[in-house]
Amino acid sequence: MLTVLRMTIPADTTLPWHTHPMPNAADILSGQITVEERATGRKRVIRAGQAFNESVDYVHRGHTGPESTVCHSDLRRRRRAVAVDTGRSPEHGH
């Protein structure tokens, strides 16, 4: 089963470190998100009109820019992302 979610992530939000247990893709409808890989520190910016594959079993996080980011994300078999406990909640306005 394929489930497509439409999500709005507030401006200047850093999502928690997490992994995805299976293939997942996202399509940015407005705004932008910077995806950072924890192991390498590699960052890539994905802007409105672009799509990307999520990292599978690889710890990463996203940070939105100065405006809210709206995206579609496809979640196969309705499995959720697995949060990595850092002892911190998502950061807003940083």
Q: Is residue 91 part of a domain?
A: no
pLDDT value of position 40: 96
Q: Is residue 67 part of a domain?
A: yes
Q: Can you give the residue range of the structural domain that contains 49? A: 2-77
**Under a CB-based contact definition with an 8 Å cutoff, are residues 24 and 56 in contact?**
yes
pLDDT band with cut points at 50, 70 and 90 for residue 73 = confident
Q: Is residue 89 part of a domain?
A: no
Q: Is residue 38 part of a domain?
A: yes
CATH of the domain at 61: 2.60.120.10
For the chain, give the number of residues. 94
Q: Is residue 37 part of a domain?
A: yes
Task: Kindly list the distances between the CA atom of residue 11 and the CA atoms of 62, 65, 68, in Å, as whole numbers in the listed order.
Answer: 12, 6, 4
pLDDT value of position 56: 81
Structure tokens at 92: 């807003």
**Distance between CA 22 and CA 7 in Å, rounded?**
19
From the CB of residue 33, how many other CB atoms can be counted at a distance below 10 Å? Answer: 22
* pLDDT average, residue stretch 66-71: 94
For residue 7, give the nearest of 81, 84, 94, 77 by alpha carbon. 81
**Distance between CA 77 and CA 10 in Å, rounded?**
26
Q: Is residue 27 part of a domain?
A: yes
Q: Is residue 9 part of a domain?
A: yes
Q: pLDDT of 11-44, one tens digit each?
A: 999 999 998 888 888 899 999 999 999 999 999 9
Q: Is residue 84 part of a domain?
A: no
Q: Count how many domains the chain has.
A: 1
